[in-house]
Each structure stands twice: as C-alpha cells, then as structure tokens.
A and B are shown apart, each in its own frame.
Chain A
Amino acid sequence: RKEVEQDPGPFNVPEGATVAFNCTYSNSASQSFFWYRQDCRKEPKLLMSVYSSGNEDGRFTAQLNRASQYISLLIRDSKLSDSATYLCVVKREYGNKLVFGAGTILRVKS
C-alpha cells in the first residue's frame, strides 16, 4: 500500500462545476500536508498548505481530518485553467522529505 493514495481520475467536469478530491495517508506521524498542482510536462507547484482547521484560498478549500487520515481539496466554479494534476503531499516531521501521491487528473471542459 502506498503511503499517500489518491483517485487518479480523470475527473471531467464542465466549467463552473464544483469538484472535490480526497486523499488518504497511512503514516500517522505525518505532520504537514499540502496540495501541489502540476500542469502537463511542467514542474509541481505549491497550491496550498492544509491545516486541521481547514483553509480557503479563493475558489479552493482544503481540509484535513487527522483522525481519519484524509485530506480533501474542493474547487468551486471550475475554470478551464484549473485543468491539471493535483498532487496530495505529506511531510512526516521537520526536515523530512515530502511524500507525494500519484496525483488526480482534472479536466475542465467548456
């Protein structure tokens, strides 16, 4: 079993739709959580950190459930430019490596 698991998708949604991705992690020692975005043939870029209290950045909302060890990302009012692969990432402790999920593909269509 992989340490970080995601539904690979693809999620095909129309513009304006709301879409949600979930991710589960197996290591309860994980301390920090992130969503990265990766466009086709580009490098990953940090989208947002994820906090237990939940956090929002414009159309994006991230939530963390430590008890169930899952992380979610909600995208409201999807845009064509949101089409990308969304990588769920955990970090175990200070100084340790980032562990990436395999990513979830989102395709937003007009």
Chain B
Amino acid sequence: EAGVVQSPRYKIIEKKQPVAFWCNPISGHNTLYWYRQNLGQGPELLIRYENEEAVDDSQLPKDRFSAERLKGVDSTLKIQPAELGDSAVYLCASSSGLAAYNEQFFGPGTRLTVL
C-alpha cells in the first residue's frame, strides 16, 4: 500500500514569492494533517482536516498561509508571500480516525528554503 505522498520534495524560493505544497494521503484516510518542522524541533500542527472540513486551524498563520482539501482527498498548503522564517520542512500526515489507536502516518515532507 502506498504511503502519504508529498510534492515537491524540495523547494527554494526568494522571499515574498508564493509557494504551494501538495499532499495525497493514504487511501481511505479521512483525517489529514499539515505540520511544520523547524530545524532541531519537533513537528507542530498547522491544520487538521476531517474529510474536506478544516476542524483545527488554530496554529495556521492565516495572514499568509492557506490550505484546502477539495473532495476530501488531496490537499494543498500555500504560503503567500513567503518570509525568511518560513524555511522549514512541511509534513503531511493522515490517519483513518481520531482515536489514540489510529496511527498518524507521515509523508516524506517538503523542505522549503526561503532566500
């Protein structure tokens, strides 16, 4: 079974440019998460989707970040405009439910460098 797929794997942009990341969760997983991981830190949740509904976006910097999950499958995360401090790894994860036994599976991440 395929895991969580993310693209691109790496992205280098100049500050003030827009950037978008794409995620395809594991088939059948209704819950999708976007995390940001800064160097030397653990991942931090940005947004969680239940099907196509964003149910927890309290950590998403809404002035420049946006996300969508059309049709409750694939998701995109966008930053516009990017700032130097946005350099990080953006991880997508999915799970089949919300209970503790529903493991979150992570994708390989997109490593963003903002120059």
Which residues on B are within 8 Å of A, measured CB to CB? 33, 40-45, 48, 55-56, 91, 98-101, 103-104, 106-109, 111
Could you list some 16 contacts between A and B, CB below 8 A?
A: A43-B91, A44-B91, A45-B106, A46-B103, A49-B100, A49-B101, A94-B100, A95-B55, A95-B98, A96-B56, A97-B33, A102-B40, A102-B42, A103-B40, A103-B41, A103-B42
Question: Which B residues lie within 8 Å of A61 (CB)?
Answer: none
A66 to B33, CA, bound (A): 27
1/0 contact string of A15-34 vs chain B (CB within 8 Å) = 00000000000000001100
On whether the beta carbons of A8 and B40 are closer than 8 Å, the reply is: yes
Q: How large is the interface on A (under 10, 10 to 19, 20 to 34, 35 or more residues)?
A: 20 to 34
CB atoms of A42 and B99 under 8 A apart: no
Which 10 residue pairs across A and B have the least CB separation, nearest first? A100-B42, A32-B100, A43-B106, A95-B98, A97-B45, A102-B41, A100-B43, A87-B42, A46-B103, A102-B42
Distance, CA A46 to CA B93, complexed state (A):
12
What residues on A are CB-neighbors of B48 within 8 Å?
97
Hey, which chain A residues are within 8 Å of B40, CB to CB?
8, 102-103
